[in-house]
Structure 1
Amino acid sequence: MSEEITKDLEELEKLLEISQRDNVKKILLGGIELTKKKMTEENKTIEEEKKKETKPIETIELEKKPKLRFVNITSYSYTQDTSAVTVYVKLPGIGKLNKKNITSEFKSNRVLLLIVDFNGKNHKLALPNLSKPIDGNGSSLKIKRNRIELILKKTSKEHWQQLRFKKNPYKNLGDEKDKDEDPQAGMMNLMKKMYQEGDDETKRMIAESWTKSREEKMKEGLN
């Protein structure tokens, strides 16, 4: 088609050169302008088609794929020795799943396990804020017949008291004087914070607890 347009343009330009009448020249100039516009549009279409043809297949497939939804895995257990912590995820029949559908990521302070299309669902185990740092490169994943094992390589031989780090709920509550207060005082500060930020039901429960505690202390004083 572009070859025919080119020939039309050449013919119109030749006619313009030999034309003697002004009205004919105007008609020919209009035809030339329209032909050039048509040629530009066609060239643009051809370029767009070429870009589509050269686009990587992987990119096209990725753009068409919808975002996956994952079900959180909340049940797991773990053991440890001096070199590693092993997390066990019980999944009957997981060994039959294509190994490419199972992936894991190990960072110094977190672990992520993704399982795609197992028993009709996608599954995710996220373990952020690990109790202690791990060697991500030295950690690994093992797939057994009915479970998955995540081997977290320790960076030190010390014993882990827990798998994930849990922030002390009494820390940074109140002013600097709270640092020297006993645990009971810390609990009271936490209760006050909960009362101030809680909804009506929470406030009612805390108020009832305070009232009951006060009454018990008064009874002890009378005795």
Structure 2
Amino acid sequence: MSEARMKELRSDVDELNELLKLAKRKRAQDLISLEVRKLETELIKIKETIAKNAQAESTPAPSTAPAQSKRYQIKLNGYGWDQSDKFIKIFVTLKDVQSLPKDQVFCKLTEKSMELHVKDLDNKDYLLVINKLLDSINVEESYWKQKTDMVVIFLAKSHPNVKWSHMTELEKKTEDQRNNKMKPPTPDMDKSDPQESIMSLMKNMYETGDDDMKRMISKAWYEGQHKKKDTLDL
């Protein structure tokens, strides 16, 4: 029964992978990739069950044998990146990763996302996920390499020679919002009272500035008031 189920699952995975290559929309790609991962997980569980049953039948483990340690998945957040005209290069530091077989270090890519999987490195699994890339990538021309204590992923740009300002859409949106918040509004030059425009600008700078900016504006306002008073006394 298990063998028949495994054969059926392999056929389903192969067919879904073919559909993934044909899928154009990101949502469709994500749904197909999710289903593939589910089927692959079921395959692994069946293989493990068969292996355990075979081991139990041939050489039963002694009662004093230590329990097999559980493997944990660690989600990675830190990475470095650089770019050339053709590639976005992502650098992920992992000690001794070069010692793993190539099939234990792999990436799952779509046009706007990437996942790095590192399996069984010092009895731990590692995962790096980057979603909503700033621009689309060419999955077929992308690749990765294991180097000493590092994995380097080469994401082929769909639009060569276009420079990326950020890695993801979210990072760019966050910085744009921060810059817009800190940028003082342009004074309305059509106002009849120039003094009102200046006061409005200084008020905005005071409200959005840091402590040093607030102290500087307060000092300038204080000194200006005293100069105005001295002029009136004369």
The TM-score with structure 2 as length reference comes to 0.49
Which whole-Å deviations, capped at 9, do the CAs of 1:77-106 have from their partners, x for residues lacking one? 222221112112122311111222222012
SS of the residue corresponding to residue 140 of structure 1 reads strand
* Map of 1:184 onto structure 2: 184
1:149 corresponds to 2:152: yes
SS of the residue corresponding to residue 92 of structure 1 reads coil
- Cα distance in 2 for partners of 1:131, 1:60 equals 34
- Cα distance in 1 for partners of 2:94, 2:117 equals 13
Question: Unaligned 5+ residue runs, structure 1?
Answer: 1-50, 174-181, 193-205
Which whole-Å deviations, capped at 9, do the CAs of 1:105-148 have from their partners, x for residues lacking one? 12212211011221232211112222222111211111123211
- Counterparts of 1:125-204 in structure 2, within 5 Å, are 125-156=128-159, 157-165=161-169, 166-167=172-173, 168-169=176-177, 183-185=183-185
% identical aligned pairs: 17
Which whole-Å deviations, capped at 9, do the CAs of 1:179-206 have from their partners, x for residues lacking one? xxx92359x7xx99xxxxxxxxxxxxx9
Q: Give 1:220 deviation, angstroms.
A: 5.3
Q: Give 1:69 deviation, angstroms.
A: 4.9
SS of the residue corresponding to residue 79 of structure 1 reads strand
* Map of 1:201 onto structure 2: none
CA contact (8 A) 2:72 2:123 kept: no
Q: Which has the higher strand share?
A: 2
* Map of 2:45 onto structure 1: 62
Q: In structure 2, do the counterparts of structure 1 residues 119 and 221 end up closer, same or farther at CA, with 3 Å as the change threshold?
A: farther
* Map of 1:97 onto structure 2: 100
SS of the residue corresponding to residue 162 of structure 2 reads coil
- Cα distance in 2 for partners of 1:119, 1:220 equals 66
Task: Kindly name which structure, 1 or 2, has the bigger radius of gyration based on alpha carbons.
Answer: 1
- Counterparts of 1:36-51 in structure 2, within 5 Å, are none
Question: Unaligned 5+ residue runs, structure 2?
Answer: 10-41, 50-69, 187-203, 228-234
CA RMSD of aligned residues (A): 4.1
CA contact (8 A) 1:106 1:137 kept: no
